[in-house]
Structure formats: structure tokens, C-alpha cells
Amino acid sequence: MRKPVRKVVFPVAGLGTRFLPATKAIPKEMLPLVDRPLLQHAVEEARAAGIEDFVFVTGRSKRAIEDHFDADTELNRTLEERGKQDALEEVRHSEIAPGRCFYTRQQVPLGLGHAVWCARALIGNDPFAIVLPDDYVQGKTPCLKQMVEAYEEVGGNIVAVVDVPRERTSSYGILDVEKDDGRLATVRGLVEKPKPEEAPSTLSIIGRYILQPEIFDHLEKQQRGAGNEIQLTDAMAKLIGNQPFHGLRFEGTRYDCGDKVGFIEATLAHALNRPDMADKVREMLRKYC
């Protein structure tokens, strides 16, 4: 029997330099898409995929994250007393159940692979998901849920992928594909940020992964890769051949909120998808377009 995926890691220890000075005192992952922080969207996606345990790899100046997912009993009481039921429900929805969230720190941001490695004791010997909150994905079925469904079919390791224009391959981890049925691609290699002329395909990895715990054996070696960082892609590449490894073309749209224009686009896409504000936002946009 395949072990189910019940744990998620959110690596949120990065410096967020592209959003400075906004991210000097506020974590990038707490910037809101309308009224919910990016990280809360990520937690909700994980919940919808059946995740029960939430591991956050944070760093200095990230304390707001712990407060956000905690219960604020004083605020709850005040909202209750003032009859603000809608706001109370929203706030309650942001809480993670007692004993189900775990925090560890990456003291120095040495790269995504290193951040994930910092969660090793909390993951133990279980398969787990990784969600990068700056990739916001909108779709009928949440992206991670689609991945868990694919995992139930093929097991092993799964990364979510999108096709990118060839000239952009040097910004992403790229798949070397052995077989492709249009939905699931069997992977025979991974390359981090290849030059367009050297890229083995244009299928790029986005910030959603399901991995087996053996990834920690490779991360343990702390080898530096592209940008002199400890890259998750390099460690994942070493799993290939020993365990199944697939790329899933998920159904939905990915927005890169690590980029300023991408963040604005995600905000608009989210607002236009909300029945409580879509019409007003559409009308407002007409003024500018």
C-alpha cells in the first residue's frame, strides 16, 4: 500500500528582495491577494488536497506568519461581541488546528533545497508535498489535489509543470522527458535554469512538488548548484532512476507572484474570480483599458 501524502512543507525563508522595501518587515508570503495572504491561499490549497500537517520553514523577520495561523482569542471575542459574524468566520478560517502546524527556521537562506532540508526531522520517513506560496494557481480543482490524484495512480515523485517559451528556460527547472501522454510526463532528467539552446524541453517546474523522503539523503550532501545555492532540482535529479518521477501538466493557470507584474495579474485574476467583487473590479478596469 502506498503511503498517503498528509504533510506539506512551505519554504518561506527567502529574502524577498524583489519586493523591497515592502518585505523589509513583512514576509513576502504575507502580501495579500485582495484580503488573504499568499501563504493562506497556499494553506487552503494544501487543505483541499487532504494535507493534515503543515510545516513552515521560516527565517528572521517572519514572525507574522506564526501569528497569522494562530487563534487570536481576543480578536475573535471582540468580533463576536460586535456581531461581525462574516469577519469572525474569515478569521477562524485562517487558523490551523492545534498541534497541526510546525515551525522551523532556516538560519541562512542558502537556497530552496537547503530550506526543504531544514524540515527533515518534521517529515521523517513519509512522502510529503512542497508548496511555494509565490506560485498562485487558479483552477477548478486545486493544483495540489490534482497532484495527489496523480500520485495515487503512479506513486513516487511528482512535480507540477507548465510549458514556457523557449527563451525563458533559463529562469526555471526544466524536465528532460522520456515519455509523455499529454498529461503525465515520465522524467529521465532535470536541469536547473538551462540556456534556451541547451534546454532538453520547455516543460518547467512550478512551485508544487510531491516527494519521497529519500530526497533528504541527497540534500544532506549540501552540494551547491546554480547561483551557488543548494538547489532542490539537483537533489530531485538524483532520485530519477531509483524511483518513479513524473511531471504533471495540471489544469489551471499559474501566476508568478514573486514578480511584481505577476503579482498584480494574480490579484486581478483572484478578484475577477470572486462573486463578491468581480463586477465592481471589471467596471473599475474599464477606466484604465
Is 126:243 a contact under the CB 8 Å cutoff?
A: no
**Which sign, positive or negative, has the C-alpha torsion 15, 17, 22, 116?**
negative
Does the footprint of ligand UTP cover residue 127 (CB under 6 A)?
A: no
Q: Which of 127, 142, 156, 258 binds ligand UTP (CB under 6 A)?
A: 258
- Does position 231 bind ligand UTP by CB under 6 A? no
Q: Which of 5, 8, 9, 11 binds ligand UTP (CB under 6 A)?
A: 11
Cell numbers 515520465 correspond to 186
Other CB atoms within 10 A of residue 253 CB? 14
Mark the segment that binds ligand UTP (CB under 6 A) among 80-88, 112-120, 154-162, 174-182. Answer: 112-120
Q: Give the closest residue to 90 by CA, choosing from 255, 282, 276, 263.
A: 276
Interface mask (CB under 6 A) for ligand UTP, residues 260-289, using x and -? ------------------------------
Q: Give me the least distance between CB of 139 and ligand UTP, in Å please.
A: 20
Q: Is residue 109 near ligand UTP by the rule CB under 6 A?
A: yes
Q: Does 16 bind ligand UTP (CB under 6 A)?
A: yes
17 binds ligand UTP (CB under 6 A): yes
Q: Nearest residue to ligand UTP, using CB?
A: 14
Which strand (E) or helix (H) includes residue 67?
helix 63-69
Rounded to a whole number of angstroms, the minimum distance from the CB of residue 2 to ligand UTP is 28
Interaction of residue 37 with ligand UTP, rule CB under 6 A: no
Q: Note whether 55 binds ligand UTP by CB under 6 A.
A: no
What grid cell was written down for 121? 526531522
Span from 107-115, 120-128, 192-200, 271-279 in contact with ligand UTP (CB under 6 A): 107-115
Closer by beta carbon to ligand UTP, 14 or else 127: 14
Distances (CA, A) of 190 to 173, 201, 280: 7, 10, 44
Nearer to ligand UTP, 203 or 206 (CB): 206
* Choice between 7 and 28, CB closer to ligand UTP: 28
Q: DSSP assignment of 142-181, as one string?
A: -HHHHHHHHHHHH-SEEEEEEE--GGGGGGSEEEEEEEE-
Mind giving me the DSSP string for 4-17?
P--EEEEE-----G
The amino acid at residue 241 is: G
Q: 195 in the Ramachandran plot: left (φ > 0), alpha (ψ -120 to 50) or beta?
A: beta
Type of residue numbered 252: G
- Cβ neighbors of 268 (< 8 A, separation 6 or more) are 281, 285
Shortest Cβ 11–ligand UTP spacing (Å): 4
Task: Select 57 or 235, whichever has its Cβ closest to ligand UTP.
Answer: 57
257 part of the interface to ligand UTP, by CB under 6 A: no
Binding residues for ligand UTP, rule: CB under 6 A, are 11-18, 28, 57, 106, 109-112, 114-115, 132-134, 258
